[in-house]
Copies of this chain bind each other. A is one copy, B any other.
Amino acid sequence: MARPRIDDVARAAGVSKTAVSFAFNQPDNLNAATRERILAAAAELGYLPSPIARRLASRRTDQIGLVVPQATHHVFANPFLPELLRGIGDVCDAEGISLVIVPPVGGSIARAVEGALVDGLVLLGLEPDHVELELVRKSGMPVVALDVDSWEDAGVISVDEAGGADAAARHLYTLGHRDVAVVLIAEHPDSGVDESRGISARRLRGIRDGFDAAARETGGAEVQVRILSSTVSEDGGRAAFAELQADGLPSAIIAITDITAIGILLAAREAGISVPDRLSVVGYDDVPASAWTQPALTTVHQPIREKGRLAAQRLVDLLRGRESRQLGTELLATRLVVRGSTAPAADGRHPSDARASPGGGGVAHP
């Protein structure tokens, strides 16, 4: 027999569809007796409200989407994502909202968003002026963007990139590093990086500024910065290391992402390059795994779970019409966590520089 519908229950209980609907959604509108009778009839028939029909009628999906810039396979290679999801999940679970992963469809984010069955979106790794996002803005769908400078008509949760990058740069400078490679995110495995935009750009800028400031303040030599990029994965890190080794290793590497730094660490170990004696490595994000390696990773900490939680809460507030603080940017603090992967530059070419700013290890950042 076919799945029972609301009319069947109504008939069986001798009431109207409305009453049945109330029994499930607004029990208080019914007196106890009728409610019981309806529920009994429903149970008897094995009736359960159709999730889809319910959504169409109520015009709410009770789902939010996390829009990611790449295929699921790739984005989950970065331990950052699970951490973010733990934060988002805190809110979703509490609010009875389901979370959908929204990766590009056929390479198109716009197409993915068009078809997404959601009431709102959290945007990860996307810049406000991304072409494909035009649709999103004019659709009027509630949106919270992560890690952007600002976004008209959208909530924004970001972290103090400049501060974190600055701390990392000064830390290395103080240790005497003057030849530093920075490994950015390659959006597309092939194409180079656009150094002017996105999170890679912001972190790189912060790092450069940090080095410049350190040199200026101490009167020391400028840092020679080499730029390269890799996919965000352990293998990406390994590839970056290989590339650098072929060119001649710098004394320190900053990876824009911990997982990349981990790949570098492992590749270095396997190549017999001692970290941190011969090579210092700095990561970014402070995912849990960055504390598991040996040496543990010096990295820029950001409150990932908290970020997810705030983003989701902000989105839900928007959806529920809670006007709390809706828009505007929330900026979370970062701080440098110094662990074992960084040490004084081994080449000894700049000992005086290193001593020039004693105690300037820049361990903490507001």
Contacts of A277 in B (CB 8 A): none
Q: Is A72 in contact with B99, judged by CB distance below 8 angstroms?
A: yes
Q: Which of A17-53 contact B (CB under 8 A)?
A: 46, 48, 51-53
Of A79, A92, A115, chain B has the most CB atoms within 10 Å of the CB of A115
Contacts of A16 in B (CB 8 A): none
Any B CB within 8 A of the CB of A117? yes
Given contacts A116-B51, A117-B52, contact A90 B63 (CB under 8 A): no
Q: Is B73 in contact with A138, judged by CB distance below 8 angstroms?
A: no
Interface residues on A, range: 35 or more
Question: At the interface with chain B, which of A177-185, A289-297, A331-339, A343-351?
Answer: A289-297
Among B98, B139, B292, B293, which residue has its beta carbon within 8 angstroms of that of A116?
B98
Q: Is A59 in contact with B51, judged by CB distance below 8 angstroms?
A: no
Given contacts A234-B288, A293-B294, contact A89 B103 (CB under 8 A): yes
Contacts of A46 in B (CB 8 A): 138
Any B CB within 8 A of the CB of A201? no
Any B CB within 8 A of the CB of A216? no
Given contacts A72-B85, A86-B73, A86-B76, contact A115 B51 (CB under 8 A): yes
Among B76, B99, B116, which residue has its beta carbon within 8 angstroms of that of A89?
B76
Q: Complex formed: what's the CA distance from A82 to B83 in Å?
A: 10
Any B CB within 8 A of the CB of A102? yes
Contacts of A96 in B (CB 8 A): 105
Any B CB within 8 A of the CB of A217? no
Q: Complex formed: what's the CA distance from A262 to B79 in Å?
A: 15
Given contacts A55-B52, A72-B92, A89-B76, contact A100 B293 (CB under 8 A): no
**Interface SS of chain A:** helix
Q: What string of 1s and 0s marks CB contacts (under 8 Å) between A49-86 and chain B?
A: 00111011001011100000001110011010111011
Nearest CB to that of A66 among chain B residues?
B101
Given contacts A82-B82, A288-B234, contact A73 B89 (CB under 8 A): yes
Among B55, B92, B138, B294, which residue has its beta carbon within 8 angstroms of that of A117?
B55
Q: Is A89 in contact with B117, judged by CB distance below 8 angstroms?
A: no
Any B CB within 8 A of the CB of A243? no
Nearest CB to that of A101 among chain B residues?
B99
Any B CB within 8 A of the CB of A247? no
Contacts of A93 in B (CB 8 A): 71-73, 103, 105
Any B CB within 8 A of the CB of A175? no
Q: Is B61 in contact with A52, judged by CB distance below 8 angstroms?
A: yes
Of A46, A72, A81, A115, chain B has the most CB atoms within 10 Å of the CB of A72
The 6 residue pairs across chains A and B that have the minimum distance between CB atoms = A72-B89, A294-B294, A76-B82, A56-B56, A76-B86, A82-B82
Chain A positions within 8 Å of B, measured between CB atoms, are 46, 48, 51-53, 55-56, 59, 61-63, 71-73, 76-77, 79, 81-83, 85-86, 88-90, 92-93, 96, 98-103, 105, 114-117, 138-139, 234, 262, 266, 288-289, 291-294
